[in-house]
Amino acid sequence: MLKTTLLFFVTALAEIVGCFLPYLWLKKGGNIWLLLPAAASLMMFVWLLTLHPAASGRVYAAYGGVYVATALLWLRVVDGVKLSSMDWLGAGVALLGMLIIVSGWRTT
């Protein structure tokens, strides 16, 4: 379960970076060359999703919970926004949902 969770966090980071770099280019006047590492990051995101042993729908559902938590951590660390108690609660609920889904992978 720990390996799966860590893989989800790396996957989420790859997706967020792949979307953040074009944002920097489009909204913040960044260099167009940011699109190259963005594309590479999104390709890595897709590849990382294929490393899970469950059916794709289950992987996507469980991944969603980790993505929520990772996006909130990105908001705090990169954007410098202080998270509210509701942000933390929502991240916890999302991660609990992921854990419930992943724990069922063994029984199917």
pLDDT digits (tens, 9 = 90+) for 62-95: 899 999 999 999 999 999 999 999 999 999 999 9
pTM to 2 decimal places: 0.84
Give 3-state DSSP helix, strand, coil % of the chain, rounded to 5.
Answer: 85, 0, 15
The candidate with the shortest Cα–Cα distance to 73, out of 8, 4, 23, is 8
Do 44 and 10 form a contact (C-beta atoms < 8 A)? no
Do 18 and 42 form a contact (C-beta atoms < 8 A)? yes
105: confidence class by pLDDT, cuts 50, 70, 90? confident
pLDDT digits (tens, 9 = 90+) for 31-52: 999 999 999 999 999 999 889 8
